[in-house]
Structures are given as structure tokens and as C-alpha cells.
Amino acid sequence: MQSDLTSRFPLPVAREEPEKGTPASLPSSPISADASDEVPFLRRVPFSSRRRRAVSESHISYLSSHPNLRRSFSREVGHAAAETYLLTRLTITLLRYLGLGYRWITRFLSLVCYATLLMPGFLQVGYYYFFSSQVRRSIIYGDQPRNRLDLYLPTDNSGSKPAVAFVTGGAWIIGYKAWGSLLGRRLAERGIIVACIDYRNFPQGTISDMVKDASEGISFVCNNISSYGGDPNRIYLMGQSAGAHIAACALMHQAIKECGENDTSWSVSQIKAYFGLSGGYNMLNLVDHFNRRGLYRSIFLSIMEGEQSLNHFSPEVIVTNMCDRFDFPPLPPIILYHGMDDCSIPSDASTAFAEALQSKGFQAKVVLFERKTHTDLFLQDPLRGGRDELLEDIVSVIHTGDAAALARDAVASPARRLVPEIILQLARKISPF
């Protein structure tokens, strides 16, 4: 069976890359607001020269005996600079590869304006990302470049918490783990651990590299989440946009492995449910659509490793073709969310995938949101604050069977607004997505 399986649907093999240095994990706990109780030089003192000299001596003495504290802030700034440099370098490499076509220039300018309008919210989320003690950044999960993930931990550390392995979007080109910081914050506030998995983007890697990286990140979560207060029996998989496609591919390819006798580091049975946000699951049906949207056919096929590989990286096709031929293992419940005004990936993509799953006896459903675009569900709605319908639905699924958690959810305070409504509406109009 295994020989027949791999001959018809060969698993992608990631290309070997030279080993690179692995940066050490950086501390993520800057001086806290109540540090004045422990740090002498932070106490309020009268403005006398004698007292100032005493404080200065105390300051120097304390920093001399606590070098890690003295360097913590500079390390945070250094980490932010390194992250910015990485993204800038990859962007320049990408632009050299793509050239400067008219569509790319106009969409890039739209993206700049869109990001500028939402900057008040991004700055607040960025401050949380870099300076919150509840965020563990850049945890290493593999030996390839960008094999890092961020963990968002609830403030209440009593008992084991459910965990979500999240794969961010970015058109397979600009994906980055920090894009999930707003979602990570919101779910952590509801008692759920979130692991945002980074992965190689194009042109640093192609789709097989991305799926391999995501699978290794999922494996890390399944095998190590208990060390961070997570419950290994309550692990969920989620992806958004291109990340939804990559996460679904990782899930399906893992199921293919389990059809045979391959040793695996994680199992499909460990995933309680899969959440797909605004994803595409049949690449054959999306090539021309992406070309019209500016992700040109030649570039997209380079990302997907050629037209002959589209079947292997289309979860809908895998489900349709594999289940009739092989003993496909049970899949977790699959819940797909999509905005009906999504122009980047039509909502039909989620509907068709759910129908394919249901036709093979798997549990799947689609939740459609009227008048919602590609970014409304993931960005504008969370930045708006108040009650987030998508978030509430995800939380209710994760907390099913946990009466105490459901009771806390019922009285949870609405999220604070981060961006004024008029700016959100303007950003929505000029969004390139």
C-alpha cells in the first residue's frame, strides 16, 4: 500500500540548506511597573544633591550587581532591529525577483497607506509584543532559517490551558510570526495559549519548505506545550489566508504519512479541531484568480514548485482523490471562516473544501460573514474592539466541555478599541487585499 501511495502522491521533500548560526533566545521580561519596590534607583526621592548622589551610587551599585537588568531594554531594542532587518532584506530580495510592474507598485503603495492608517493600533500591539512578560518570542523549533515561534501565555497560569498552533498568512511571500500578535493577545486574554509559527517564505523557500516548517512547528507544540502550561490533549490548529492553506497541507500530508508505516513526530489525532480563516484549498482553481489580482501566474507556480505540483498542495484535491483509494485516518473537525466580500480569496474556496470533506464523511462546516473582506475578520474587527464574532465562535469551540471557562467567557469584558472607526473604514477602502 505504501509503495502505491507514494508513487501516486509523493510527499514533498524539502531541499537541503546549509546550516546557519542559531541566535540565542532573547529575554522577554523588561522592568515591570512595580519594579520600584525592588530597584532602589527607581524610588521617588527629594531633589537634593546629597540624595541624588546617594541614589546615583545606589543605581551604579545595583546595575553592577545586576548586569542582565541593565542590558534587558537594549536587548529588546536589538531584537526589534534584527527583526526589522530580516524583513527588509527579504523584501528587497523579493522586489529584485519580481521586478517593478505596475500592479505591484500600485498594490505596494496601497499597502503602505493601509498600514499607515492602522499604525495607531499596530503600535499598541507592537508594544505588547515586545514588552509583555506574557509573550515568549523566537523559540526555536527546528534547524532551518526562520524555524522560530512566538508563544502567547495567559496571565492566569493555574491549571493546564488549551493551545492553538497558528500559521500566519502573507501570500506565501510576506508571512511572519508577529502578524499573529493581535490574535495571540486576544486568545491569551481568554485563557488560551497561542503558538505563532514562523516559516520560510518565497523566495527563501518554496511551498514544500513552508509545509515542512509548519509541520515541524506543529510537532514542537504537540510535544512541548506542557512545558509552558499547555494541555497536550487540547491542541488546535489554525491558519489565516496563505497560512490556512499551509496548515491544511501540513494536516493532509501528515494524514498521508499515517496511511503507511512512516514514523511521525506528531499525529493528526492530537489535533482537536482545525480552524481555517479566509483560506484557499484548491490551487488549481485559484491560479487564474491570483494572476488577475497581481500574484502573477509565473510567480505563483514558482512558489508552488510548478503546475505539476498543484494537486499535491491542494487539500481539497487530496481529500477527493485519496479517501477512495486508501485508508485515510480520521481528520479532526474542520471549521472554515470566510468573508463573503473577500476579493483576495473568494469564499467559494472554503465552501468547496467543506463540501469535499463532507462528501467523504468528515466533519466540516463553513461560517460565512456578510459584508466582510479578506482583512476584516483578522485585522479591522479585532482593532475595532467590542465583541468579535469570529473570536467568540473560536473560543466557544475550544472551551466546549469546560464549564468554568465558558462561565468566564460569558462575563468577559469587551476588548478595548485600538483604532477610531473612521480610520478603520478608510483603511478598508484602500486595502490592497
pTM of the model: 0.79
Confidence band (pLDDT; 50, 70, 90) for 220? very high
Confidence band (pLDDT; 50, 70, 90) for 107? confident
3-state percent breakdown (helix, strand, coil) of the chain, nearest 5: 50, 15, 35
Average pLDDT over residues 231-250: 97
Closest Cα partner for 237 from 175, 185, 167?
167
The least confident of 18-32, 81-95, 367-381 is 18-32
Does the pLDDT at position 18 exceed 90? no
Average pLDDT over residues 250-265: 86
Which residues are known catalytic residues?
241, 342, 374
Answer whether 8's CB lies under 8 Å from 317's CB. no
Confidence band (pLDDT; 50, 70, 90) for 96? low
Does the pLDDT at position 64 exceed 80? no
Alpha carbon 292 to chain centroid distance?
A: 26
Answer whether 309's CB lies under 8 Å from 252's CB. no
Confidence band (pLDDT; 50, 70, 90) for 71? low
β-strands 148-152, 230-240: how paired? unpaired
Closest Cα partner for 375 from 92, 183, 150?
183
Element holding 110 (H helix, E strand):
helix 102-117
Enter the C-alpha cell of residue 302. Answer: 514558482
Phi/psi class of residue 294: alpha, beta or left (left: φ > 0; alpha: ψ in -120 to 50)?
left
Average pLDDT over residues 14-33: 40
Confidence band (pLDDT; 50, 70, 90) for 76? low
Query: Which of 8-12, 22-26, 367-371 is the most confident on average?
Result: 367-371
Q: What is the predicted pLDDT for the residue at 278?
A: 97
Q: Return d(Cα 400, Cα 380) in angstroms, integer.
A: 27
Alpha carbon 102 to chain centroid distance?
A: 30
Q: What is the predicted pLDDT for the residue at 198?
A: 97
Confidence band (pLDDT; 50, 70, 90) for 296? confident
Average pLDDT, the chain: 83
